[in-house]
Amino acid sequence: MTKINEMTMNDEKQTAEFEARIARGEKIEAGDWMPEAYRKQLIRMISQHAHSEYIGMLPEGKWIPHAPSLRRKMILIAKVQDEAGHGQYLYHAAETLGATREEMMDAFLTGKAKYSSIFNYPSDTWADVGMIGWLVDGAAIRNQTMLAQCSYGPYSRAMVRICAEETFHHKQGKEMVLLYAHGTPKQREMVQDALNRYWWPSLMMLGPHDADSPNTPQLVRWGIKTKTNDEVRQEFIAETAPELLAAGLTIPDPELHFDEESGQWIHGPIDWDEFWQVVRGNGPCNAERLGARRQAHEDGAWVREALNGYAQKALST
Amino acid sequence: MDTQWPRWEVFKKDTAKKPYQAVGSVHAADADHALLNARNVFVRRPQAVSLWVAPAAVIFSRTAEQLEQGNPLPDVDQSVQQTYQIFRKATHRRSMTFMDHIGQVEAPSPAHALQAAIAQFPDPPALAWWIIPADQIISSGEDREMAAAWFDPAKTKTYKHQSAYGFVSARPQGRRRSGAKDE
Amino acid sequence: MNEAVTGALTSRLTALADDELILAQRNSEWTGHAPILEEDIALANIAQDELGHATVWLGLLEPFSGRSPDEMAFFRDAEDFLNVQMVELPKGDWAFTMLRQYLFDAYEHILIEALLASTYQPLADAAAKFRGEEMYHLRHTHLWVERLGLGTDESNRRMQDALDILWPAAGQLFVPLPDDHLLVHEGIFPDLAILQDQWVAIVRPHLTAAGLTFPAEIANTAARGFHTEHMATLLADMQLVARWEPDGEW
């Protein structure tokens, strides 16, 4: 991709024109002028999102060998494969902004870059696979549907593609949870336990309350986000809570109720200390997840070098 | 320094009637490997009849905004005519794909190729162009048997589609595994 | 089909299914741990194809065995599995995984071509269905073997280490089951001795061109049904959840 910005206009005028383009619903493409802060915010968001997909393969991937039916095994391999594919689409979107995959891998593996807090929770039982599909992917789809409207063309396109593929992730998870919720006593107990552990982290993964999210107004103005964290969280609860309850499961929040007057779901206080601990690297599985990723990266180094070696020899003959 | 291999842009043709469209990129050390990776990444689901890959490094790109600001492509006269494949983005509509392949031109340089493309394909006006030397594009080919081997298997993997799960909020029937197990 | 032929077909279908099921199990262990993101996707693709084939073979078996594909996969013990030992070995490094897959893909490619002419129509139909996928797999692993063999000194050494184990092990693919001759006589299943010649003609030149040499060690000629120590732990992993609640629908 080419370097741009040989213009002499001042930044303010360019920014005004840039914001007018976004207001008209135009997509910004690689090569177009953009404020440096827009580029940086996008690289940060997109690469974090890519890392989340990549590391998100691990909690579910570890259950592939134990999947209890041929169909579940097939579905789970395909789902975790999609997550790799989604990571791949997202790294591509960040690459259009000038970030290289080598730099992004380095930032990821050295712990400089963040990824979604949810993947630092353990996946202790097979039922977690279902709960991750229904709740975690359900929450993620809310965010991704919003980001598919995003002003940056490559990010928007990655999201449209991801959303189209991800609906299957959500549905297979829901299918499992409902099946086990109506299954044998052991299955019911297992799926309730999974809900107990995944409910709060799912609410947290949608990000801090609007009042504590200083970047949001700018991101909304630039058309990167089109809804606030609390709005997305409300949508998520409204969609999932009634169905979880209808399945006979107990949501681990005694204060959760629907407020007729405001038309909103009211939930109990979220433990933001825990959220920030996990984001900062002190979650229950941060070290394990990043360790596994580093190990795979190091074990693969000779393979990546071998193919470069082959390509160079092929060029020189 | 770690290597993630060079990047290759991927162009997918969904049906015989559709153009090759830029769908994203893959990393690979060489062209044949890039083509296989493109299939694995972008044809996990149908549909496709053919794929192209090209090294990202050889693509000449300009947006309409860049051209308005007088930022042309390199005009090194190579004194021989070369074939360039022309890709264009013409809409702000939300989609999964970026550029569409719209044709090819013969030109002595990328700058001339772009001028020729603008003259030859004026409608609809482009938001962005890609100009790729034709000899840098590697194709999976359009041979039927090969296409069947590469692209048909995705059609049978119905479990990757949300439609395979129907309406899953109803209370499921309590089916039990039938037949005796022997342990 | 008389009872003896039915019995022979039951064993052969079990062997076909088990090779693919156990190899898919091993390959799926890579998901999330491959050398680069693109290869996580590639290997998960191969694992799904194999698991799909195993499911089809087990489905063809059901009328004879009276057991569902899931019962066959999750409620048999090691001694009842008829896979070759080569597919149950731990996944090893990327060289081992790619070479094992290549040797198996080449075997499956010629097997499928032969099964297209099977007089037992369900086998011929399944072969026609798998043919495209297998051509693609072979192209993929053919490419990898060449690149790792010729890439760097380290990649060549790792490939040679893998071949030293896998070359003799692959011999077991061509050991007939006790009643296979009945199937060959009926035109249901091909003669494995002929397949072996075709297989050697495909893999030997390619491995040689990839800078590898063949170990002198004699081929593994153990009958199917005998397993290495790795099979028990593989099954313990695979059957963990299903056997934890055998009455559940999963």
CATH number at C19 reads 1.20.1260.10
Q: What is the pLDDT of residues C33-51, one digit of tens each?
A: 999 999 999 999 999 999 9
**A1 part of a folded domain:** no
* Encoded tokens for C55: 């499911």
For tokens 């080569």, name the residue: C86
The pLDDT assigned to A44 comes to 94
| CA-based nearest distance C45→chain B, Å | 7
CA separation for the pair C65, C56 (Å, rounded): 14
The pLDDT assigned to B168 comes to 62
| CA-based nearest distance A175→chain B, Å | 6
Q: How far is CA B174 from CA A180, A182, C26, in A?
A: 10, 7, 33
Q: Is the pLDDT of residue A226 over 50?
A: yes
In chain C, which residue's Cα lies nearest the Cα of A102? C36
Handedness of CA C94, C96, C99, C100 (dihedral sign): negative
Interface A-B, measured as beta-carbon pairs within 8 A, has a size of 135
- Write the DSSP assignment of C149-187 as a string of letters: HHS-HHHHHHHHHHHHHHHHHHGGGGPPPTTHHHHHHHT
| CA-based nearest distance B102→chain C, Å | 29
The pLDDT assigned to A6 comes to 44
Q: What is the pLDDT of residues A27-46, one digit of tens each?
A: 999 989 999 999 999 999 99
Spell out which residues of chain C touch residue A88, defining contact as CB-CB under 8 Å: 37-38, 41
Question: Do the Cβ atoms of A92 and B24 come within 8 Å?
Answer: yes
Q: How far is CA C206 from CA A243, A314, B28, C189, C213, in A?
A: 57, 17, 22, 27, 11
Least-confidence region, from A66-70, A247-251, C101-105, C213-217:
C213-217
Q: Is the pLDDT of residue A7 over 50?
A: no
The pLDDT assigned to B46 comes to 76
Spell out which residues of chain C touch residue B44, defining contact as CB-CB under 8 Å: 41, 45
Bridge partners for B9 per DSSP: B25, B54
Angle at CA A68, nearest 5°, toward A62 and A69? 120
The pLDDT assigned to B82 comes to 93
Q: What is the pLDDT of residues B141-182, one digit of tens each?
A: 877 888 888 888 888 888 888 888 876 654 444 444 433 333
Question: Do the Cβ atoms of C42 and B36 come within 8 Å?
Answer: yes
Q: Which residues contact C2 (CB under 8 A, 6 or more apart)?
A: none
CB contact residues (below 8 A), chain A span 71-100, against chain B: 71, 74-75, 78, 81-82, 85, 88-89, 92, 95, 100
CA separation for the pair B70, B55 (Å, rounded): 26
What CATH number should be reported for the domain holding residue A172? 1.20.1260.10
> Does residue C143 sit at the B interface (CB-CB below 8 Å)?
yes
Q: Are strands B82-89 and B100-107 parallel, antiparallel or unpaired?
A: antiparallel
Q: What is the pLDDT of residues B50-81, one digit of tens each?
A: 999 999 999 999 999 899 888 888 887 667 89
Spell out which residues of chain C touch residue A92, defining contact as CB-CB under 8 Å: none
Binding partners of B (≥3 Cβ pairs within 8 A):
A, C
**C201 part of a folded domain:** yes
Spell out which residues of chain A touch residue B58, defining contact as CB-CB under 8 Å: none
Look up the domain containing C108 and give its range. Answer: 3-244
The pLDDT assigned to C230 comes to 98
**A6 part of a folded domain:** no
Average pLDDT taken over every residue of chain C: 97
Banded model confidence at residue C102, pLDDT cuts 50, 70, 90: very high
Look up the domain containing A173 and give its range. Answer: 11-316
Q: What is the pLDDT of residues A58-94, one digit of tens each?
A: 999 999 999 999 999 999 999 999 999 999 999 999 9
In chain A, which residue's Cα lies nearest the Cα of B159? A75
**A4 part of a folded domain:** no
Q: How far is CA C181 from CA C1, C9, C141, C171, C219, in A?
A: 14, 11, 31, 18, 21
Number of domains in chain C: 1
The pLDDT assigned to B167 comes to 62
Bridge partners for B60 per DSSP: B131
**A176 part of a folded domain:** yes
Q: How far is CA C80 from CA A31, C20, C69, C73, in A?
A: 62, 15, 14, 10
Q: What is the pLDDT of residues B83-121, one digit of tens each?
A: 999 999 998 888 899 999 999 999 999 999 999 999 999
Coil, strand or helix at B49: coil
Q: What is the pLDDT of residues A233-285, one digit of tens each?
A: 999 999 999 999 999 999 999 999 999 999 999 999 999 999 999 988 888 99
Q: What is the pLDDT of residues C68-81, one digit of tens each?
A: 999 999 999 999 99
* Encoded tokens for C225: 């049904």
**C249 part of a folded domain:** no
What percent of chain B is modeled with pLDDT above 90?
62
> Does residue C239 sit at the B interface (CB-CB below 8 Å)?
no
Spell out which residues of chain A touch residue B74, defining contact as CB-CB under 8 Å: none
Interface A-C, measured as beta-carbon pairs within 8 A, has a size of 137
CA separation for the pair C105, C118 (Å, rounded): 20
Q: How far is CA C36 from CA A303, A305, A310, C11, C33, in A?
A: 9, 11, 16, 39, 8
Q: CA-based Rg of chain C, rounded to a whole angstrom?
A: 18
Banded model confidence at residue A143, pLDDT cuts 50, 70, 90: confident
The pLDDT assigned to A2 comes to 41
**C61 part of a folded domain:** yes
Task: Tell me, rounded to whole angstroms, the distance of Cα C67 from its chain centroid.
Answer: 22
Spell out which residues of chain C touch residue B148, defining contact as CB-CB under 8 Å: 132
**C250 part of a folded domain:** no
In this structure, are residues C174 and C195 in contact, taking their beta carbons and an 8 Å threshold?
yes
ipTM of the complex: 0.97
**C136 part of a folded domain:** yes
Average pLDDT taken over every residue of chain A: 92
Number of domains in chain A: 1
